[in-house]
Amino acid sequence: MLRSLVLSLLAISEQGFSSPLRRRDTATTALTGADIQSRDLVSIAAFAAAAYCVRAGQWNCGDACDKIPDTQLVFTIGDSAATPDVYVAYSQSRNQIIVGHEGTNPSQILSVANDLQFLPTPLLTILNVAGTPAGVSVHSGFQTAWVQTSTLVLNAVKQLQAQVPDARVLVTGHSLGAAISLLDAIFLKQQLPTNTSIEVVGFGRPRVGNKIFANWVDSMFGDKNTFVVSRHDPVPHVPLILQGFQHTSGEVWIKDDTTTLSCDSQENPNCSDSIGPFNAATGVLDHLGPYFGVYMGLSCANPAMVTAPFSTTLSLRPSNIPINRGRGLGLSIPLGAPAGALVGMLAGALLMI
Ligand SMILES: *[C@@H]1O[C@H](CO)[C@@H](O)[C@H](O)[C@H]1NC(C)=O
Ligand SMILES: *[C@@H]1O[C@H](CO)[C@@H](O)[C@H](O)[C@H]1NC(C)=O
């Protein structure tokens, strides 16, 4: 009884109390296999999956890495806890700089996204630069996780850009990593030269900010912002619209094994919003995929790496393989220092280079 009451409340909230006066664009387009290829979604899913498999500079993600063979890992940092793992890599064949953010397991992301202590809060000043509209607010837990690595990632990307100035930039991640990726893409857009091509693709992305945030992202990225929802995955349904959150445009919904829809506008009722938020029985597993044949968090060559603690708390990895065009980053940082001190040191070292 209570459960069904809660579920119907949630169903109402999913529809966002949309007024009949405000017509929403409900158009969808079915994507063929060729469309999925031309949107590059298989490789991008592999880049997101690889973020679970980067440990202390090792790039070891089996099937996913086989799909992105010439990728050179340049920078990694994280402890898979308060500081989620992130890597920066370069692909010569794609001439693309890739920033990949690791996610977390479905139960953890659901509890964080539902945690009422994380209401929409104002942007940190680092993101609230000139041109940011008033009233943008975001999930404070996602923002806190993002800011742990934001400056280090920016500086790693800047250093790569100095070597490959015409490279495109892709920011991707799954779950919590998808939320962090969206904040990261905004930050890179603000900080990198305006002619930089930046694309952001999230898999199993929860709602990140309020409606003003969603509109702002849409105006900044247009069709360079995509989030892929797998079947009945509950994570993209939280935090709720009722709590003041709103998805951006750019949903691609893998409805089932044969149908994938590209969805116009925000919160398209013909896409994943048509599913109640807590289809828990199968839904939680759907969070892991498959996303165009790629599973997130399950595809490391050595599955033990998914759960094993980071062997070095933080690492900044000079590329063993020099960037093919230009010189390698050539940074080296002693490991084993206390994490906080090391972060400060890394930030300082990166700023000086
Ligand atoms: C979207 O849903 C509405 C009803 O909710 C339906 O009338 C319409 O045909 C759907 N559009 C598409 C493109 O599926
Ligand atoms: C952006 O401009 C810089 C400087 O003019 C140039 O070196 C770089 O190749 C440009 N980047 C792109 C993606 O076109």
233 flagged as catalytic: yes
Asked whether residue 183 carries a pLDDT value surpassing 80, the answer given is yes
Instruction: Flag whether the pTM goes above 0.85.
Output: no
Which of 22-36, 229-243, 259-273 has the lowest average pLDDT?
22-36
Ligand 1 atom at minimum distance from 26 CA: 1
Q: What is the pLDDT of residue 58?
A: 67
Ligand 1 centre distance from Cα of residue 210 (Å): 25
Which of 47-61, 141-155, 165-179, 336-350 has the lowest average pLDDT?
336-350
- Ligand found nearest the CA of 196: 2
Ligand 1 centre distance from Cα of residue 8 (Å): 21
Residue identified by tokens 């590329």 is 319
CB of residue 269 inside a 6 A radius of ligand 1: yes
How many CA atoms, within 13 angstroms, populate the side-chain half-sphere of residue 160? 32
Q: Which of the four pLDDT bands, split at 50, 70 and 90, describes residue 83? A: confident
SS in 3 state form for the chain? CHHHHHHHHHHHHHCCCCCCCCCCCCCEEECCHHHHHHCCHHHHHHHHHHHHHEECCEECCHHHHHCCCCEEEEEEECCCCCCCCEEEEEECCCCEEEEEECCCCHHHHHHHHHCCCCCEEECCCCCCCCCCCCCCEEEHHHHHHHHCCHHHHHHHHHHHHHHCCCCEEEEEEECHHHHHHHHHHHHHHHHCCCCCCEEEEEECCCCCECHHHHHHHHHHHHHHEEEEEECCCCHHHCCCHHHCCECCCCEEEECCCCCEEEECCCCCCCCHHHCCCCCHHHHHHHCCCCECCECCCCCCCCCHHHHCCCCCCCCCCCCCCCCCCCCCCCCCCCCCCCHHHHHHHHHHHHHHC
Distance of CA 177 to the CA centre of its chain: 4
Residue of the nearest CA to atom 4 in ligand 2?
Answer: 165
Domains contained in the chain, CATH given:
25-352 (3.40.50.1820)
287 flagged as catalytic: yes
Percent of the chain's residues with pLDDT above 70:
75
Query: 113: closest CA among 92, 139, 148, 95?
Result: 139
247 flagged as catalytic: no
Asked whether residue 303 carries a pLDDT value surpassing 60, the answer given is no
CB of residue 262 inside a 6 A radius of ligand 1: no
Locate 62 and state its tokens: 């089996």
CB of residue 95 inside a 6 A radius of ligand 2: no
Locate 2 and state its tokens: 């209570």
Q: What is the pLDDT of residue 119?
A: 80
Residues 257-262: contacts with CB under 8 Å, at least 24 apart: 259/30, 260/30, 260/31, 260/36, 261/28, 261/29, 261/30, 261/31, 262/28, 262/29, 262/30, 262/31, 262/35
Q: Which of the four pLDDT bands, split at 50, 70 and 90, describes residue 109? A: confident
Average pLDDT, stretch 296-303? 68
Q: What is the pLDDT of residue 2?
A: 34
Ligand 2 atom at minimum distance from 193 CA: 1
Query: 287: closest CA among 279, 296, 277, 278?
Result: 296
Q: Is the dihedral of CA 159, 189, 59, 94 positive or negative?
A: negative
Asked whether residue 324 carries a pLDDT value surpassing 50, the answer given is no
**Residue 203: strand pairing partners:** 174, 228
